[in-house]
Structure 1
């Protein structure tokens, strides 16, 4: 079975979260924090965390990269870049579907942007490539590009958003660049190479280890939140229960051991009181004090009842009515008094002082005139005050006064006032001082604050009623609306309190007889602990929940163990890391002249990792990175890449970005030759800035007759990635240079009549400079038949037999170089050479064409 079939069957028996994780890693080898959180949520959900959101998409067979596609897919173009680096949408590249395509461009020309888009879309060992928009003009939110592909004769376009997972269609296309050189230096003379086929195990192990650390941290954080119950007595049963709570603890267990009932509360209060009596008090003295307090409360109750009786609504109503009758009678009497005593010689007649004087005179009359009734006004009568004879007017006045005094209104008013004064005296005598200053109130307040507060409210309201009623003594008007409400006297509660205290007193006597303080203290300790736990029931349930969560996290952590990954890796590596792969690596190293570096395939995995160890053929224990240069390490990575490509049965294309940087000439030549060999079997696309490497590729492509295509990428100011089918001038052959110069002549012809001579002449000089370089290229390519070329390090002696070398040819070269040099080099002002005409330039170019035709 092929690798993807093996993985597919294996994935079917995996947990759903792991199956989903494999799918994610095939789509994107490095997961971001958000995706890792989703995976963690999936694991936790499958292990009992129902509140975690499940986000699982099962792995499908199409998700697994398949490098053995029957119909090889080929990339024909890449176009329509939007918001990618400095490349404008109108630019793009086209590739030959068969053979070799070389994209040449100097540094910062933009070729790497094209290469990165392909790298992200295809299969690359390095999955960390990040494509950035134009940092100077990034107005679009999304970066996109179109990749044109051909498969089985059908052309399609992949509309790709960059910085996303690779395209499943392009997994058979492999890419190599500097970042893909997975060669690492390790101790003990070892380099570790991870084959791409088995990278899924490394990714799985890496991410599962990372997730495991996250879960361990989550567990640690949860453990830090575990509620503690240090306040509980260590000897209590409830403390032992709380400490025994685990994921197995059920709600009924918590209810049974931690609920603190009303009965428990009553019992605890009673025990506390009993212990206070037995341990901290003199029971006999306490009983006596309690009896005294009972007596005092009884007296307080009686006084309160008396107050309540004397200011009951009925009596208050009666007093208000009496007072109003008095006021009405007094008003009537005042009116009559005014009428009886008006125009008297002195003021105040009829007033209370006057009445006192009148009644005193009346008593004196019994002494002065005992035989006559008051007032005695006969002819011999004298004034009882001044003892002067009474005049007729005085006799009339005294008689009128006595008639008024004896009137019924006056007597009624006096009676009402007397009755009213009796009431007021009773109000003044109410025992408010006793009930407010009673020492037992302090005891009552401490023992039953609520009851004492009700008593106090009643007393205060009763005092207000009494005060309002007593204010009536000043003869102010009074109505029932003026009387404030009176609070309810808690008589029943007082009686119940007295009854409970009587029972308590009897209980105290019993306690003294039993004396079981030890048992009571143990029971109190248990009830106190239970009460404390009950007040923290939420913490108890949270403790049980955390214990349950921790157990689920432990299960999740256990499921992340990489032992099974290692076992599966060993199984697959033993069957799929074949001798062919080993022989291919040995062959590539030999051709790279690095056969002295011995290596072995290690099919034993560690946490899902596949390792191929390379060791120097030396007895010295020296690290490879201390011996091998950067170029040698690059050569090793290319060897592994080419060996892997050779081991794949499909003919998927390969793309290389500057594959020979840091390599010396001989290995560049080998790499170029090796890639041309691959171009015979598959599509090969090479990005390079190395003109020598480009020349080497061209040379081997011609020698091996491989279909070849070339284009260049250039930068113009801020615009990059400008693609042209024409290669740079320095790479062109003689015939292509002649074609270029010929195309420039019409442009110069137009400039000849339009431009200022000072501007036009430098353009002509440039044209002649390129014509001179073309003669030089013709000497290398044609006259010397490529025996010696400037970009080739070797001398092709086998070409000497076909060289045409005559005096006539030498003469043509001499004349051509002389003519072109005239316009290239700086001249004296005295010469004053005339600018050649366009017709003259045409004739000069024809001489090079004639020279070129002589070699056909």
Structure 2
């Protein structure tokens, strides 16, 4: 059934089922693994662990968590009521261990330790010593135990409120647990293989749910405070996205808003500043700034005009033309004046002389002839000498030089070049001259950068142009970065627009519009810090959604239904039949009750006791206290019958004086159970104790008697055996022999006072033992004081009592009465104490009397 049901569960639960089947239980490390597998099943990445589902191969491979657990001892008790810490409370390895003690001697302290360390329906906290005020912290003890009879390392137990994982196999029953059994509907704690699997799976689900709940709490606390107390506007684009983040929110629009231009940053700064002050004054400042920008643009235009592409091209052209024309003029001069004897030919003074000669020739000497006249009859205009052929050729060359005008063109080109150079020289580029450049860098960084680059390029161009004018080079001019004046005038226009907006901000509507824009820009600027928080929040929301889905998977409804199905088919009939067996053993037909299944919880079927006659009646209101004890004990033993291993049972005062009608039945049932498992019983009821001893001896069940007393050391002082009042005849005789020997030692040491006290105590006890022998031996336990029944089966053995036996009894009893300090002796007699040999003899007399009677009783069939 479980194997077929497993595939309907999430993978982590299938893995849990495999662990339960193969290991017997789910431990803390398994819960950690299942927690990780549960998260992985809902999409958590980075988990290497893989789920291994339950398979057919696991069907018969179950390994139990251990065998039958039995207890060996409790020792080293700390901070548990008033229990002394140096005591060891031993338990018989098998059979019945009876721990007897009066009220207040420490029985409840030891029982509480076992109720907290083992399994009990009801357990009360263990308090430190309330009387002495000693001990701070949790109670602790060393608990020795065995698995299938093999001693294991002792458990160093400290009370943490939960049963020990091994010792929880031991069950504790007391009056408080009995009330829970009768009144409440309870889970059957022990189940055979199959029914315990849903229970373990439900426990694993709850353990995983607990870890998931802690993880959910951690994630809820991990939410960034910025979402609780937003620093962003709720109405801005950023605020609307940040305020509505979900696990599936796309952050691309938010990332796009995080990118801001320099102008947007500058506008944010201006809006923040201006809205914090007087918008009207800010508008006036903006208009003044716009005017300054216009003037700045004009000044920049003037500077840049001298180094513009056209200006620099014209300069380089003028330099080239001047150079070329000067070269041409030089070549013409060289050709014309190659035969000249004097320096300065062709230059200014010479040209003036030549022009004067021209006027003289055309106006006076040779008015009808073209200048220069170089015929055979022509004479020099200055020296009046005839012209020889060489002179004639020189005159023709001079005129040709003058008429071609290369020199004039060269001069004109050089004049144009010099003018351009002078203009460029005057156009100095000094950054300090532009007083608004610094403010521009604050308000419009990009425009300021463009302006600075433009001025820097202009300065380089000017330098290259002047260098070219000096050396005639033809440099490559760096390109201008842009039209900065256009940018500046655009800034001026926007400043005027902003001034108009600020003017409108004097009204509420206009101010609200600017404040909205300011909020938008401010939130966008803050996105550099908010984006990581948004990313972390989406991760957190995804994790939270995953944990919530995982918590949904931990519900145990399906597991409870599985457990109920198994219980209905397998367990419930067995539980009801076994309960009827138990109630018959304890109460016969006097108590007509039944145990029925009443739903289930966390994978576990629940059972409740009901009356046959009236299923709706409250059992605890109808039954007597004794009947309730029988019913509760029957329920307790019924559920333990479902266990795979017969571990120890502990009973803490299971019956009270009100239960006397049922005491014998309870004792019989406990002795019967002691034949198959270790039984530990705490009691203050000597009648109940005697019943247990008698019944255990009758069926040869090993039993160990331990008593607890209180002393100056504290409570819970352990003594082997029972106190004198609870000891059986042979135990008393053995102790009397020991006391006689101890008294002899005092006699030999001549401690007269000590010997007298020992003798008085000895004969007190010897007298009570003669009385007990009359009850237990002579009358064969037919009648016991305070016992609620007569043992008529042994009455026939009473007939062995003879007159000589009565005489011997009276003699021994009289000796004790004469010596005991229970009677006040005569002051006149002051009799001496009997010698030590008499003490031993008188014990032997009692022992012989008992032995002879028992030998004769054996022959009575």
**Where does 1:192-271 land on structure 2 (aligned, <5 Å)?**
192-197=186-191, 200=200, 203=203, 214=214, 217-218=217-218, 221=221, 225=225, 227=227, 236-250=236-250, 252-262=252-262, 264-265=264-265
8 Å CA contact 1:752–1:760 kept in 2: the answer is yes
CA positional deviation for 1:581: 1.3
The equivalent of 1:793 in structure 2 is 788
The partner residue of 1:613 within 608, 611, 614 is 608
The equivalent of 1:102 in structure 2 is 98
2:812 maps to 1:821: no
8 Å CA contact 1:219–1:553 kept in 2: the answer is no
8 Å CA contact 1:226–1:543 kept in 2: the answer is no
Look up the SS of the partner of 1:14 in the other structure.
helix
Is there any run of 5+ residues in structure 1 with no aligned partner, and where? 302-439, 452-495
Worse overlay, 569-578 or 788-797 = 569-578
Between the aligned partners of 2:851 and 2:34, the Cα distance in structure 1 is 71
The partner residue of 1:582 within 576, 591, 597 is 576
Is there any run of 5+ residues in structure 2 with no aligned partner, and where? 301-433, 445-482, 856-861
**Where does 1:527-538 land on structure 2 (aligned, <5 Å)?**
528-529=519-520, 531-536=522-527, 537-538=529-530
Between the aligned partners of 2:140 and 2:60, the Cα distance in structure 1 is 26
Cα distance 1:45–1:667, how it changes in 2: closer, same or farther (>3 A)? Answer: farther
**Where does 1:91-170 land on structure 2 (aligned, <5 Å)?**
91-97=88-94, 99-107=95-103, 109-110=105-106, 145=142, 147=144, 149=146, 151=148, 155-163=150-158
Look up the SS of the partner of 1:660 in the other structure.
coil
Between the aligned partners of 1:88 and 1:62, the Cα distance in structure 2 is 47
8 Å CA contact 2:233–2:239 kept in 1: the answer is yes
The equivalent of 1:686 in structure 2 is 681
CA positional deviation for 1:696: 0.9
Cα distance 1:805–1:562, how it changes in 2: closer, same or farther (>3 A)? Answer: same
**Where does 1:245-324 land on structure 2 (aligned, <5 Å)?**
245-250=245-250, 252-262=252-262, 264-265=264-265, 289=288
CA positional deviation for 1:35: 12
8 Å CA contact 1:17–1:42 kept in 2: the answer is no
8 Å CA contact 2:20–2:26 kept in 1: the answer is no
Between the aligned partners of 1:68 and 1:767, the Cα distance in structure 2 is 51
Q: Deviations over 1:365-409 (max 9, x none)?
A: xxxxxxxxxxxxxxxxxxxxxxxxxxxxxxxxxxxxxxxxxxxxx
CA positional deviation for 1:249: 3.0
Cα distance 1:212–1:550, how it changes in 2: closer, same or farther (>3 A)? Answer: closer
Look up the SS of the partner of 2:650 in the other structure.
strand
**Where does 1:14-53 land on structure 2 (aligned, <5 Å)?**
14=13
**Where does 1:621-700 land on structure 2 (aligned, <5 Å)?**
623-624=618-619, 633-648=628-643, 650-661=645-656, 664-700=659-695
2:840 maps to 1:849: no
The equivalent of 2:534 in structure 1 is 540
Between the aligned partners of 2:229 and 2:62, the Cα distance in structure 1 is 53
Q: Deviations over 1:647-680 (max 9, x none)?
A: 4464444333333357611222211100111223
Q: Deviations over 1:487-540 (max 9, x none)?
A: xxxxxxxxx99997654445568999999x999998995674254144044343
Between the aligned partners of 1:7 and 1:235, the Cα distance in structure 2 is 52
The partner residue of 2:834 within 824, 836, 841 is 836
Between the aligned partners of 1:226 and 1:292, the Cα distance in structure 2 is 44
2:701 maps to 1:702: no
8 Å CA contact 1:4–1:66 kept in 2: the answer is no
Between the aligned partners of 1:92 and 1:773, the Cα distance in structure 2 is 29
CA positional deviation for 1:253: 4.9
Between the aligned partners of 1:829 and 1:5, the Cα distance in structure 2 is 94
8 Å CA contact 2:141–2:158 kept in 1: the answer is no
2:809 maps to 1:810: no
Between the aligned partners of 1:711 and 1:605, the Cα distance in structure 2 is 42
The partner residue of 2:562 within 568, 576, 579 is 568
Cα distance 1:583–1:139, how it changes in 2: closer, same or farther (>3 A)? Answer: closer
Look up the SS of the partner of 2:158 in the other structure.
coil
Between the aligned partners of 2:499 and 2:774, the Cα distance in structure 1 is 133
Look up the SS of the partner of 1:159 in the other structure.
strand
Q: Deviations over 1:150-182 (max 9, x none)?
A: 747xx4342321138877776765443456547
The equivalent of 1:550 in structure 2 is 544
Between the aligned partners of 1:757 and 1:725, the Cα distance in structure 2 is 30
2:780 maps to 1:754: no
Cα distance 1:621–1:116, how it changes in 2: closer, same or farther (>3 A)? Answer: closer
**Where does 1:68-107 land on structure 2 (aligned, <5 Å)?**
69=67, 77-78=72-73, 81=76, 86=83, 91-97=88-94, 99-107=95-103
Q: Deviations over 1:293-337 (max 9, x none)?
A: 579999999xxxxxxxxxxxxxxxxxxxxxxxxxxxxxxxxxxxx
Look up the SS of the partner of 1:839 in the other structure.
helix
8 Å CA contact 2:173–2:650 kept in 1: the answer is yes
8 Å CA contact 1:603–1:611 kept in 2: the answer is yes
The equivalent of 1:363 in structure 2 is none
8 Å CA contact 1:68–1:648 kept in 2: the answer is no
Worse overlay, 832-841 or 167-176 = 167-176
Q: Deviations over 1:5-55 (max 9, x none)?
A: 999999985177999999999588xx9xx999999899668767889999x
Between the aligned partners of 2:750 and 2:789, the Cα distance in structure 1 is 47
**Where does 1:463-502 land on structure 2 (aligned, <5 Å)?**
502=489
Between the aligned partners of 1:287 and 1:149, the Cα distance in structure 2 is 94
CA positional deviation for 1:768: 0.7
Look up the SS of the partner of 1:246 in the other structure.
coil
Worse overlay, 604-613 or 16-25 = 16-25
8 Å CA contact 2:596–2:610 kept in 1: the answer is no
Using structure 2 for the length normalisation, give the TM-score. 0.61
8 Å CA contact 1:592–1:670 kept in 2: the answer is yes
Between the aligned partners of 1:819 and 1:81, the Cα distance in structure 2 is 46
The partner residue of 1:772 within 767, 772, 781 is 767
Between the aligned partners of 2:608 and 2:143, the Cα distance in structure 1 is 40
Q: Deviations over 1:580-626 (max 9, x none)?
A: 21111133234444865644533632443431123346769665555
CA positional deviation for 1:93: 1.7
8 Å CA contact 1:783–1:805 kept in 2: the answer is yes
2:167 maps to 1:176: no
8 Å CA contact 2:182–2:631 kept in 1: the answer is no
8 Å CA contact 1:96–1:709 kept in 2: the answer is no
Between the aligned partners of 1:508 and 1:595, the Cα distance in structure 2 is 107
Between the aligned partners of 1:214 and 1:15, the Cα distance in structure 2 is 23
CA positional deviation for 1:712: 3.4
Look up the SS of the partner of 2:599 in the other structure.
strand
Worse overlay, 109-118 or 762-771 = 109-118
Worse overlay, 165-174 or 794-803 = 165-174
CA positional deviation for 1:216: 5.9
Worse overlay, 240-249 or 613-622 = 613-622
Cα distance 1:274–1:695, how it changes in 2: closer, same or farther (>3 A)? Answer: closer
8 Å CA contact 1:655–1:686 kept in 2: the answer is yes
CA positional deviation for 1:836: 2.1
Q: Deviations over 1:394-429 (max 9, x none)?
A: xxxxxxxxxxxxxxxxxxxxxxxxxxxxxxxxxxxx
CA positional deviation for 1:683: 3.4
Look up the SS of the partner of 1:605 in the other structure.
strand
Between the aligned partners of 2:137 and 2:541, the Cα distance in structure 1 is 50
CA positional deviation for 1:255: 1.4
CA positional deviation for 1:848: 2.1
Look up the SS of the partner of 1:614 in the other structure.
strand
CA positional deviation for 1:846: 3.7
Look up the SS of the partner of 1:693 in the other structure.
helix
CA RMSD of aligned residues (A): 5.9
Look up the SS of the partner of 1:830 in the other structure.
coil
